[in-house]
Structure 1
Amino acid sequence: MWSADGYLNSLYTESVKSHINVFDEAGKIDLKNKFQQLLGNFEGEEEELAPLLLERSDMGSYLRLRVEISTIQQLRMPVYLLIPKNREGTKLPAVLAIHGHGYGSKEAVGLHPDGSQRTDVGYHKEFAIELVKKGVVVIVPELIGFGDRKLQSDPGGNSPTDNSCFMIASQLLLVGKTLAGLRVQECRRVIDYLQSLEEVDESKIGCIGISGGGLVASFTAILDDRIKATVVSGYTSTFKGSIMDRRHCLDNYVPSILEYTEMPNLIGLIAPRALFIEAGTADHLFPLKESLVAIERLAKIYQTFDAEESFSSHIFEGGHEINGEKSFEWLIHHISFVL
């Protein structure tokens, strides 16, 4: 056989046989440790946050700040911080809102790449604005490789929606690190910053991400117990039925992950903390069939940990886009009333 199809299928079949059991606490701990190793070692690279205010805008019912913070080594990250104005001195729950592929954090807060106000709505649906209007603090990081954080030398960076994912991911792989791991580590630093804010109740932090941001949201929640509730939109599937089934961005690939687990069991490491899965019926990147497989598997994991009430999902009529019809209220409820 000249084609590698059969060979690749056999590799997958053999890998599945040796996957770690996540239906007990020992298996979860083992897989979480393996996963942390596969993402790459970023320990000891943290810097002082040293926040710097870049912009301040009064948006009527909320304030929109753009702040720059240090994350690891010499990296600085711009974030949008949305703060409700009617909080009356009380500390509020907070949401880490992670954008997907596109032109970065501006897309989630209703801005064009040049900073002007959007007049149309893309697949992000300005979800950060929708959340802050519901009374929570929202922080939107600019993921490395997008928007204002593209590589200066990347030849594919001429359009606002181009990204530097391939260039960054491929170079990190050469030194034993992953782009997913770098983004997760930076998001954990964003949580550090959130917890330093006087407006935020540090015990009530949630996370939501769409598409590639769904990957970062789920991976960050797996490794950081400070996230009490997570919404994953337009990502939850199986590696076999999505990442392996088409040409995806290199930021999706974690070396050797299939030696230990499939995507549903990996995301299941969030259990028993609250988890909501959102999927569109016509999502062409993460097909509904595979999302349903993942949802069924996750439901069983949550049953095993007697946490059925902490898991929910919504299949909506639509494509590869955020929806929020049920997930936004669910997220706010689960972080607002966390014990």
Structure 2
Amino acid sequence: MWSANPFLQKLYEETVQTHVVDRNRNKEHIKECLIEALGDFTSLEGELQPRIIEKVEYDSYERMRLEVQTCLSLRMPVYMLVPKMRSASPVPAVLAIHGHGYGSKEVVGLHPGGLPNLGVPGIHKNFAIELVKRGVVVVAPELIGFGERKVAATESATDNSCFELASQLLLYRKTLAGLRVYECRRILDYLNELPNINHKKIGCMGFSGGGLIAAFTSAIDERIKATVISGYANTFKDSIIARRHCLDNYLPGILQNAELPDLIGLIAPRSLCIEAGIHDHLFPFHGVQKAVHKLEKIYNSQDAIHAFTYDVFEGGHEVSGSKSFNWLVDSLAV
């Protein structure tokens, strides 16, 4: 009887009820609230100063690794996969955002040390390679806190620095999600400087924690035309609140203005595909169903239901790609 559960349940119910009562909660208002909750990093912006580190040739594509300056005193390593079937005109590009694990190497078919992974792909399914093979340029940034961008050396390659970064950033009224979104938007700035990229045909795909970044980056940056969110779409109530999650999932005060499907719905009327495993233990299926239902309503309200789709597959917390890979490339071809 002394448990905090009833208090937290009541707090959630009363807070979410205000979403119905407040008639001023239009799209622009929710977008402004999301931007405020993420935190502002624009004052730290510097020149991009891109620099190529390495180039590796494969049968059907070239893999480059480069670094760009996203903030003053902060540089980001990025893999760029370029198909060898070059077009005379600029080609579409996709921002491929990894989730928790050992960083961007995990989506481009490499082991943590940089050697090729010739075995069975992990839960990311090498999705950057799958996309470049379909003829688009793919850019895979290394999110801060993972891989080679951890705060300090750790014993395991899959360890991360999310808690150290997120907890400190909160002291500055900033969030780790906000920093990651900001850095991904700087990569979009870089893509807009490249003459071989069709700047009107830029897509985004993110998995798990990368799905969070894909969702929020796409929500606030309309340069992204089509988005795949894999292993993340849900409700705060059924996923983030229901179990212990990484601190990078939490945005101060966001529930006072929107549930998670409302935030993802900011992408409308642009193209959106939700991918989810029925047996995902981190983002459970009943929460996925609620999110999809709300997103269908949002897209219907904007006469854009044709731009929304989803793929529920027999699997767990992992990328599928059975529908999403071709859907994303086809959406950018239009």
For 2:85 and 2:195, how far apart are their aligned partners in 1? 15
Cα drift, residue 90 of structure 1: 2.5
How far 1:120 moved relative to its partner? 2.5
Change in Cα spacing, 1:90 to 1:232, as seen in structure 2 (3 Å) is same
1:34 matched to which residue of 2? 33
Task: Tell me the SS of whatever aligns to 2:49.
Answer: coil
AA matched with 1:246: R
Q: How far did residue 20 of structure 1 move?
A: 6.8
* Distance in structure 2 (CA, Å) of the matches to 1:220 and 1:276: 15
Structure 2 distance, partners of 1:92, 1:195, is: 12
- Which stretch shifts more, 2-11 or 36-45? 36-45
Aligned to 1:183: 180
Counterpart-to-counterpart distance in 2, 1:244 and 1:70? 35
Q: CA RMSD in A?
A: 1.4
Same amino acid, percent of matched pairs: 56
Taking a change above 3 Å as real, the CA distance of residues 306 and 88 of structure 1, as seen in their structure-2 partners, is closer
Corresponding residue of 1:264: 261
- Pairing 1:100–2:99 present: yes
Shift in Å, 1:227 = 0.3
- Give the aligned partner of residue 301 of structure 1: 298
* Separation (CA, whole Å) in 1 of partners of 2:236 and 2:291: 10
What runs of 5+ residues in structure 2 fail to find an aligned partner? Answer: none
Partners of 1:137 and 1:333 in 2: CA distance: 14
> Which one of the candidate residues 155, 158, 163 is aligned to 1:158?
155
Alpha-carbon shift at residue 148 of structure 1 (Å) = 0.3
Amino acid at match of 1:13: E
Distance 1:49 1:122 in 2: 32
Q: Equivalent of 2:171, from 148, 169, 174? A: 174
- The alignment of Structure 1 onto Structure 2 pairs a total of residues equal to 333
Distance in 2 (alpha carbons) for counterparts of 1:123 and 1:174? 33
**1:44 Cα shift?**
2.4
**Which whole-Å CA distance do the structure 1 matches of 2:134 and 2:309 have between them?**
20
Give the one of 177, 183, 201 matched to 1:204.
Answer: 201
1:310 to 307, 312, 330: 307
- The equivalent residue for 2:191 is 194
- Which residue number in structure 2 is paired with residue 238 of structure 1? 235
Deviations 1:274-300 (A, max 9, x none): 110000010000001110110011001
Cα pair 1:22 1:269 within 8 Å, conserved? no
Q: Distance in 1 between matches of 2:251 and 2:325?
A: 29
Q: 1:320 aligns with which of 300, 317, 325?
A: 317
Q: Which runs of 4+ in 1 moved over 4 A?
A: 20-24
Alpha-carbon shift at residue 22 of structure 1 (Å): 10
Contact 1:280–1:315 under 8 Å retained in 2: yes
Name the amino acid aligned to 2:12.
Y
Task: Check conservation: 1:22, 1:31, Cα contact below 8 A.
Answer: no
| Shift, 1:71, TM fit | 0.4
